C-alpha cells in the first residue's frame, strides 16, 4: 500500500496528516463531489468511476470521517447497546448475538454498562445519543421507572428492549420465558422432596418480598412468580417468605452462608436467579463444608461455562442468550430501515439441562 501524502496538520504524532476526500479525488482524477459520492455510496456515480475512486482511497490509506458521513446522510451506521452488568456472562453472550447481526448488516456496535443503576444508565444513554447512534438496544435497569428509556424515544431513535420488558412502554421487546423456566427448576426440587427452598436474586427491593409487590426487573418478577407458583402448587405454605432479594447489597456469599447456617429455616435447596449468584452459593457451600447435592441442592438460570465443569455439574435453565441479542438487533435494524409495523414482543423458550446438583434432602 502506498504512503499517504506528506505534510503537517491533522496528524497522529508521526508528521503525516489525514488523507482527505480531496486527495482521493486528485488521485482518481475526478471532482471532489464525485469522489464524495463514490466513497459515501450515494448519488449517481458510474461503476467505473466508483471502482477508480475506491482503488485510489485504498492506495492512499483513506479512512472515512464518520462524523461527516453522519452529517451528510443522517445515519452513523452504529447501534448502541446498554447492558446491566458486563461481568455477567448473560450480557456477554447477548452482546455477541447483537454484534453478529449488526456486523452482517453493516452496522458497528457501541457497548455501555449501566451496572443496574438508573443514574449510570442515564449517563450511558446520553453518551450513546451524543455519538448519534441510529438506534439503541437496552436491558433496562428498571422495568418501572421509564424516564431514561423515554429520553431515547424523545430523541427520535428507535429502541428495542431485551431481557427485561417495560409493559408501560410501546417498544419492541425480546425476552425469555422466565416464568415457565422458574416453574420447571423449582418443580425439579419439589419433586425430589424439598420443602425448604430459597430463591436468590440481586435485584434491589425495599423490605422483604410480599405477594403483589412490583419488582424493578420484569425478568426477575417473572422468575419469582414461577417460583412461588411452583411452591404453592406443591402445597408449601407462605411461598413468598422463601424469596430473598437484595443479594448484591448483602453479598451473595454472605447471604448464602446466612441461609445455610440458619437451622430454624433449614434451607435444603436454592434456586439462583443467574449463574453469578449460583457461583456465590457454590462457594459458600464449599466454605461451610456442605456437600452438593447431598446437603444442598442447587439449580440456576443460565448455562455458564463453569456450571458444566464443576463437581458436581449444576442443573440449569438454559436461555437462548445469543438469539435474544440477535433477535433484538434484527428488530432494531428493521425499525431503523423504516418499518412502521405494530410493536412486537418476542418470548423465546428456555430449556432445562439436568446435571448432578439435585438430590433428595438429607434426613436431619
**How confident is the model over 144-173, as a mean pLDDT?**
96
Tell me the DSSP string of 132-144: T-SEEEE--S-SS
**How confident is the model over 201-222, as a mean pLDDT?**
90
Same domain, 165 and 216: no
Task: Tell me the pLDDT tens digit for each residue of 85-144.
Answer: 999 999 999 999 999 999 999 999 999 999 999 999 999 999 999 999 999 999 999 999
Same domain, 105 and 50: no
Residue 151 is assigned to a structural domain of this protein: yes
The beta strand positions in 183-302, using DSSP E, are 197-200, 243-244, 269-272, 297-301
Contacts 24+ apart (CB under 8 A), 25-28: 25/53, 27/56, 27/59, 27/60, 28/52, 28/53, 28/55, 28/56
Residue 297's DSSP bridge partners are 269
Residue 17 confidence class, pLDDT cut points 50, 70, 90: low
Task: Specify the pLDDT at position 9.
Answer: 38
Same domain, 200 and 307: yes
Same domain, 109 and 210: no
Task: Specify the pLDDT at position 3.
Answer: 39
What percent of the chain has a predicted confidence (pLDDT) above 70?
91
Residue 301 sits at φ, ψ, to 5 deg, of -85, 145
Listed residues 38, 64, 90: the one ending a domain:
64
**Spatial distance between the Cα atoms of 289 and 96, rounded to a whole number of angstroms:** 38
Same domain, 199 and 315: yes
Residue 345's DSSP bridge partners are 173
Same domain, 267 and 336: no
The predicted model scores a pTM of 0.78
Maximal CA-CA distance, the chain: 88
Residue 171 is assigned to a structural domain of this protein: yes
Answer for the pair 21, 40: CB distance below 8 angstroms, yes or no.
Answer: no
pLDDT of 5 above 50: no
Q: Write out the H or E segment, with its range, that includes residue 275.
A: helix 275-287
Same domain, 168 and 289: no
Write the CB contacts of 55 (distance below 8 Å, at least 6 apart in sequence).
Answer: 28
Listed residues 34, 64, 94: the one ending a domain:
64
Domain at 201, CATH number: 3.40.50.2300
Same domain, 240 and 306: yes
pLDDT of 43 above 90: no
**How confident is the model over 201-228, as a mean pLDDT?**
92
Closest CA to 347 of 161, 108, 99, 187: 161
Residue 357 is assigned to a structural domain of this protein: no
Same domain, 217 and 277: yes
Residue 55 is assigned to a structural domain of this protein: yes
**Average pLDDT across the chain, whole number:** 90
Task: Specify the pLDDT at position 363.
Answer: 72
Task: Specify the pLDDT at position 265.
Answer: 85
pLDDT of 190 above 80: yes
Tell me the DSSP string of 173-185: EEEE-HHHHHHHH
Domain at 43, CATH number: 1.10.260.40
> Coil, strand, or helix at residue 159?
strand
Of residues 22 and 333, which shows the higher confidence score?
333
What percent of the chain has a predicted confidence (pLDDT) above 90?
76
Task: Write out the residue range of the structural domain in which residue 163 sits.
Answer: 78-175+321-348
Closest CA to 95 of 355, 326, 311, 313: 326
**Spatial distance between the Cα atoms of 51 and 40, rounded to a whole number of angstroms:** 13
Listed residues 64, 96, 119: the one ending a domain:
64
Task: Tell me the pLDDT tens digit for each residue of 271-315.
Answer: 999 999 999 999 999 999 999 999 999 999 999 999 999 999 999
pLDDT of 185 above 80: yes
pLDDT of 4 above 50: no
The torsion region of residue 302 among left (phi > 0), alpha (psi -120 to 50) and beta comes to left
> Coil, strand, or helix at residue 120?
helix
Q: How is residue 209 annotated by DSSP?
A: -
Same domain, 54 and 152: no
**How confident is the model over 236-259, as a mean pLDDT?**
94
Q: Write out the H or E segment, with its range, that includes residue 231.
A: helix 218-233
Task: Specify the pLDDT at position 364.
Answer: 58
Length of the chain: 364
Residue 15 confidence class, pLDDT cut points 50, 70, 90: very low
Q: How is residue 361 annotated by DSSP?
A: P
Q: How is residue 299 annotated by DSSP?
A: E
Same domain, 210 and 314: yes
Residue 44 confidence class, pLDDT cut points 50, 70, 90: confident
Task: Give the number of other Cβ atoms within 10 Å of residue 313's Cβ.
Answer: 15
Cell numbers 458521513: residue: 69
Task: Specify the pLDDT at position 78.
Answer: 95
Same domain, 229 and 291: yes
Answer for the pair 143, 130: CB distance below 8 angstroms, yes or no.
Answer: no
Q: Report strand pairing: 315-318 vs 351-353.
A: antiparallel
Query: For the ranges 15-19, 131-135, 224-228, which has the lowest average pLDDT?
Result: 15-19
Residue 70 is assigned to a structural domain of this protein: no
| Domain total of the chain | 3
Amino acid at each position: 500500500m502506498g504512503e499517504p501524502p506528506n505534510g503537517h496538520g491533522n496528524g497522529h504524532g508521526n508528521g503525516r496528516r489525514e488523507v482527505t476526500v480531496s486527495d482521493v479525488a486528485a488521485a482518481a482524477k475526478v471532482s471532489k463531489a464525485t469522489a464524495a459520492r463514490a466513497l459515501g455510496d450515494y448519488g449517481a456515480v458510474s461503476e467505473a468511476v466508483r471502482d477508480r475512486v475506491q482503488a485510489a482511497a485504498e492506495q492512499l490509506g483513506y479512512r472515512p470521517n464518520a462524523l461527516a458521513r453522519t452529517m451528510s446522510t443522517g445515519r452513523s451506521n452504529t447501534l448502541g447497546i446498554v447492558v446491566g452488568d458486563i461481568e455477567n456472562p448473560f450480557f456477554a453472550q447477548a452482546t455477541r448475538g447483537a454484534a453478529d447481526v449488526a456486523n452482517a448488516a453493516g452496522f458497528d456496535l457501541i457497548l455501555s454498562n449501566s451496572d443496574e443503576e438508573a443514574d449510570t444508565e442515564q449517563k450511558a444513554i446520553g453518551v450513546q445519543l451524543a455519538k448519534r447512534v441510529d438506534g439503541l438496544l437496552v436491558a433496562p435497569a428498571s422495568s418501572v421507572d421509564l424516564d431514561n428509556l423515554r429520553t431515547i424515544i424523545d430523541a427520535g431513535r428507535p429502541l428495542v428492549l431485551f431481557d427485561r420488558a417495560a409493559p408501560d412502554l410501546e417498544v419492541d421487546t425480546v425476552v425469555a420465558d422466565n416464568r415457565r423456566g422458574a416453574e420447571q427448576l423449582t418443580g425439579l426440587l419439589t419433586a425430589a422432596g424439598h420443602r425448604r427452598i430459597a430463591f436468590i436474586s440481586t435485584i434491589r427491593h425495599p423490605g422483604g418480598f410480599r405477594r403483589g409487590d412490583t419488582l424493578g426487573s420484569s425478568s426477575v418478577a417473572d422468575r419469582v412468580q414461577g417460583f412461588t407458583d411452583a411452591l404453592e402448587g406443591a402445597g408449601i405454605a407462605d411461598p413468598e417468605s422463601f424469596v430473598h432479594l437484595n443479594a448484591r447489597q448483602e453479598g451473595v456469599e454472605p447471604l448464602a452462608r446466612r441461609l445455610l447456617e440458619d437451622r430454624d429455616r433449614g434451607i435444603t435447596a436454592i434456586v439462583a436467579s443467574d449463574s453469578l449468584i449460583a457461583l456465590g452459593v457454590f462457594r459458600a457451600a464449599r466454605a461451610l463444608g456442605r456437600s452438593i447435592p447431598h446437603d444442598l441442592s442447587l439449580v440456576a438460570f443460565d448455562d455458564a461455562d463453569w456450571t458444566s465443569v464443576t463437581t458436581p455439574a449444576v442443573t440449569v435453565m438454559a436461555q437462548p442468550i445469543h438469539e435474544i441479542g440477535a433477535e433484538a438487533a434484527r428488530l432494531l435494524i428493521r425499525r431503523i430501515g423504516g418499518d412502521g409495523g405494530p410493536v412486537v414482543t418476542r418470548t423465546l423458550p428456555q430449556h432445562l439441562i439436568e446435571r448432578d446438583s439435585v438430590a433428595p434432602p438429607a434426613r436431619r
